Structures are given as C-alpha cells and as structure tokens.
Amino acid sequence: MAEVCGKLGRTAVKVLKDSPGFIVNRLNAADTLMFCLILDKGMATPAEVDAYFKSQGLPMGPYELTDYVGIDIAADQLNYFAGVLSPEYGKGTTFGRMAKDGQLGKKTGKGFYDWSTGKAAVPKATPTEKVTTMDLFALEINEAVKLIEEGVAKPEDVEKGMVLGMNRPFGPISVARDLTNAEVKSKLEELATRFDCKIFVPAQAIQEGKLRDAIEGRLSPQGVAPQAAKAEVKAVPSAPKAGGPIFLERLQGGVARVVLNRPKYNTINGEVLDGLDRIITEIWSDSEIRVVVVTGEGSIFSSGADLGQFWSNQVAFMEYNRKGERIMRRLTELPKLTIAVMKGYALGGALELAASCDIRLATEDVQIGFPEVTRGIVPGWSGTQRIPRLIGLTQAAAMVLTSEWVRGTKAVEIGLATKLIPAGDPDEYALKYASELARSQAPVAVMLAKRLLNKGAEVPSDVGLEMEAEAQGILFGTEDIKEGVAAFLAKRKPEFKGK
C-alpha cells in the first residue's frame, strides 16, 4: 500500500492497528477538548485566545478555525471520543450546546463570530495569558506517547502524520526532543489540575521519566523500555540513504555527490545538518573519494535554513546555531576538494554551506544573499566570520547589513563564486569539472593545501610560512610527487594514488 501511495505522489503514514482517531484526529481531540473547557470555565473569550495564537504567528486562531470548519464537527468529535475512548471527552459542553442551538460558524453565518459578510468579524482583543503554545505542545506530546505505548504507531509516523495532516513545519516528536521529561510532566500535571480532566494526566512513560525512550522508539507496546534496548546498541547507518532529506552518491572516477533533498526549496533543518555531519564522517578517510560535489535536488541549491522548527528557549536556539557552525567548520576541514553548485537560490544558511566548500560554481541567474537581518537574526552558521575572509569586510557588510542579493556574475566579480556555470545542466557541468580535478590533482597535496589555506589565515604569517615548509617536506616523500614530476617530464597526465 505504501508503494502504491508513492506511485500516486502521496506519502503513506503507517498505522499498526485500529484505534479511535488513528493519529491526527486523536492528537487533535485533546486540543479541541481544552479549547472547549476554556469556554466552559470562562477562562478567556474566543477573541482573546485567538489574539494570543495570532501573536504567535498563526494565520488563524483556534476558535476562528473551528467556526470555519464547523462547530458541529468539533462537538461530534468530542462526543465520539467520549463514547469510544474516555467519558472525560464529554466534559466539554460549550461546543455541543452551540451546535444544538444552530450556531455552527461560517455555514450558518454565526458561531463564535459573525460571518454574515463571508469573513469572521473578530473583535479586537488583548491576547490572553491563560493559554500558551506550550499547553498545546504538552497535550499533543502526551497523546503521541499514548499512541506509541498502545502500539498504534511509531514515533516517525506520528510526526509525519501531524506534519502532513495539519500542514505544520514540525510535529510533537520534534518538539519533545527539545524538552525534558520533567518539563512535559510538570505542564501536563498543571493542565490536568487546572481543567480537572484525566485526559491531560501524563502518560505512563512520561510519569516514569521515559519520554526519551518513547520518542526514540525504545518502548514496548506496554509503555516499558525493553530490556534488550539497554544491553544492545543497534548500528546506525553512517549516512542517510538516497531519497532522504540529504544523501550521498558515490560516483566513478573518485567523485561523490552530497545532495540536499527537501523539495521544493531544499531548506536545511536539524535532520539535514545531522545527515551532513554523518556524511562528512563517512567520507573523511575514504581514499576512493577525492572530490565532493555539494548540490541540491532539482533546480535549486537551497533557500537556506528552515526557521519553522521548534526551539524551547534562547539557549536551545543558540546551541542549534553552534551545532551548524561546527558542522560547517568540519566541512571546510574535510581532506577532500569540495565544490558547491549554486543554482536557483543560495540564501542564508545555504550560502554559508557553499562558503564552507573550496570551490563555488554559480549559474548566471542564481540569487545569492543573506536575508537574516530582515528576519530579526544574523547569519548563524559562520557567515559573519567566513564571508569577510572570502570577499573582504566592505562587500560582506553590504551583503549582511542590507540583505542585498547578488547574481552569479556579480558573485564571481567579488570573489564569492569561483566561476560561472555555462548554459545547460549545472549539475552535469559540476560533475564533469569534478571528474577533471579528481584526475589531475594530487590528493595528499590537496589535503595539505587546504589546511594551509584555512589554518594559515588564523596564525601569524611566520607561523604560516613554517607550516608551508613542513607541508612541502611531507610531500617530498610521497609517491605522488614522483608521479607528478615524471608525468610532467613525459608530457602525459599523472595517475596519482594518494600516497
């Protein structure tokens, strides 16, 4: 069935057994119950709650959305779950009363708001302090853990279902990774007490401090971490397989491709960073790979970092940026010649990724820039440090501080790109270029030259010169120098062995 869905251009979400609401509706029901209880208890008005969620960047608040979908749908949802899952879902009464009175929202012209003009007339209101996004996150994490405990679905399918089913940038599993068990447990206990509702009581795994086991798939269907998980450590693939958000392709002639694969803009999130880190580790000592091409699937390199992810606080966001910086640094130190293919867009974090490569090829029409300051942040994966070293402080300041984008021709002029890619397939050109370099450049010399270029710029010039002399001494004893000289004298192409 999953294969059929794939052929139809759809993504399958696996449910392991029948269960009320399956995944998305089950998680959404807890949210619906809380929003009903807020009105039952007179904690805040619909407009105040909607004002809060709009202040968090949502286009529509929960009550306006319920009006749009139909209050009768929300009432039926709670009635259904009260009958098949727990009577506690029947504690919310406001939605049922409004449905009985014919106040269904947009379909009847009146619900929480007046829809007589075709749009909701939402009165201005001060955002409430009685509800937070953390309340919703905790409830959804709790229901997700229950599904995992019950053996209904695996963590990755719960996440996938919520992301695709609710059109969100992240799901409850991603959120849970950035929270502690104690934080989630405390919030759920507070909600259960505040609303006098057993649905909000922490799931068994959370009560036992096993949230991490649940979201990482180490729970048995009964909610207990299996003994084997403690004694056995399963091998984790060193790099994602083709088709993942980032993958490695080993090609002939000493060339490999690292491909960003998150259509349609190939944005970079935590999963992509982790994948890049694993790939770097895998190919670091692989003598068969001499040149690495970093590109994006399709016509776009990448539009930059995915800012739709969840970070629980400032420290978490800071550490995420530190992580990105360290991975970019590792890429610069990779003992292979690296080539970035800048096409379509190379913005923000994508530009920092390209700048961490040795050579940057650019199409004439590629759009390159740092939009961060227009979003209230700064380049956070080494851009403020590496770009000035590449193009000088004046040009770097213009790009970062004005967020002005440049095209490929300009990028070559200022030294941000190495050379323009001629008309045609940019990836095909890059691979051909990489193949030529893999044949003509001595691998050990490339490795040492990279270290001199990157490290030499960080030390006094006399130290850099001493490093250069030592590198020459090392190379003098290699087989490659003998082959290079012999090939030059014989007027033939060298056949380097990397020794």
Distance (Å) of CA 409 to CA 193, 241, 287, 351? 63, 35, 35, 16
- pLDDT the model gives residue 159: 94
- pLDDT the model gives residue 350: 97
Report the alpha-carbon angle 458-460-464, nearest 5.
80
Q: In this structure, what are the phi and psi dihedrals at residue 248, rounded to the nearest 5 degrees? A: -110, 135
Q: Active-site residues: which are they? A: 352, 372
Cα–Cα distance for residue pair 353/331, rounded to 1 Å: 8
The closest alpha carbon to 454, from 321, 334, 281, 280, belongs to 334
Q: Buried b / exposed e across 436-458, counting CB within 10 Å, b at 16+?
A: ebbbebbbbbbbbbbebeeebee
Amino acid letter at 207? Answer: Q
Matching fold, domains 2-43+71-104+131-207 and 442-489:
no
DSSP-derived secondary structure for 158-225: HHHHHHHHTT-S--HHHHHHTS-HHHHHHHHHHHHHHHT-GGGSPPHHHHTT-HHHHHTT---TTSS-
**Token pair listed for 402:** 């004005």
- pLDDT the model gives residue 230: 33
DSSP-derived secondary structure for 399-413: HHHH---B-HHHHHH
Amino acid letter at 274? Answer: D
- pLDDT the model gives residue 237: 35
Domain coordinates of the chain in residue numbers? 2-43+71-104+131-207, 246-437, 442-489
Cα–Cα distance for residue pair 465/459, rounded to 1 Å: 10
> What dihedral angle (degrees, nearest 10) is formed by the CA atoms of 133, 138, 140, 143?
-160
Query: Cβ–Cβ contacts within 10 Å for residue 95, how many?
Result: 26
CATH topology of domain 442-489: Lyase 2-enoyl-coa Hydratase; Chain  A, domain 2 (1.10.12)
Query: Cβ–Cβ contacts within 10 Å for residue 76, how many?
Result: 14
Residues near 1 by beta carbon (within 8 Å), at least 6 away in sequence: 12
Can you give the C-alpha Rg of the chain in angstroms?
28
Q: Rounded to two decimals, what is the model's pTM?
A: 0.68
User: pLDDT below 70 — which residues of the chain?
Assistant: 1-2, 6, 221-243
**Token pair listed for 303:** 């539009």
Residues near 5 by beta carbon (within 8 Å), at least 6 away in sequence: 11, 12
**Token pair listed for 389:** 């070293």
Distance (Å) of CA 414 to CA 388, 401, 409, 410? 11, 17, 9, 6
- pLDDT the model gives residue 393: 95
- pLDDT the model gives residue 232: 31
DSSP-derived secondary structure for 18-84: --TTTTHHHHHHHHHHHHHHHHHTTSS-HHHHHHHHHHTT-SS-HHHHHHHH-HHHHHHHHHHHHHH
Over the stretch 401-423, which tens digit does the pLDDT of each residue have? 999 999 999 999 999 999 999 99
The closest alpha carbon to 395, from 417, 414, 418, 368, belongs to 414
- pLDDT the model gives residue 241: 42
- pLDDT the model gives residue 309: 80
Cα–Cα distance for residue pair 364/360, rounded to 1 Å: 13
The closest alpha carbon to 221, from 380, 16, 487, belongs to 16
264: cis peptide before it, omega within 30°? yes
**Token pair listed for 350:** 């994508």
The closest alpha carbon to 178, from 138, 225, 222, belongs to 138
- pLDDT the model gives residue 221: 62
- pLDDT the model gives residue 228: 35
The CATH number of domain 246-437, selected from 3.40.50.300, 3.40.50.150, 3.40.50.10490, 3.90.226.10: 3.90.226.10
| CATH code, residues 2-43+71-104+131-207 | 1.10.1040.10
Q: In this structure, what are the phi and psi dihedrals at residue 240, rounded to the nearest 5 degrees? A: -65, 150
Cα–Cα distance for residue pair 301/292, rounded to 1 Å: 15
Q: What H or E segment, with its residue span, contains residue 136?
A: helix 133-149
Strand partners, 360: 340
The closest alpha carbon to 136, from 208, 79, 56, belongs to 56
Contact call for residues 111 and 67 (beta carbons, < 8 A): yes
- pLDDT the model gives residue 76: 97
Residues near 206 by beta carbon (within 8 Å), at least 6 away in sequence: 141, 142, 145, 181, 184, 185, 188, 214
**Token pair listed for 369:** 């820039």
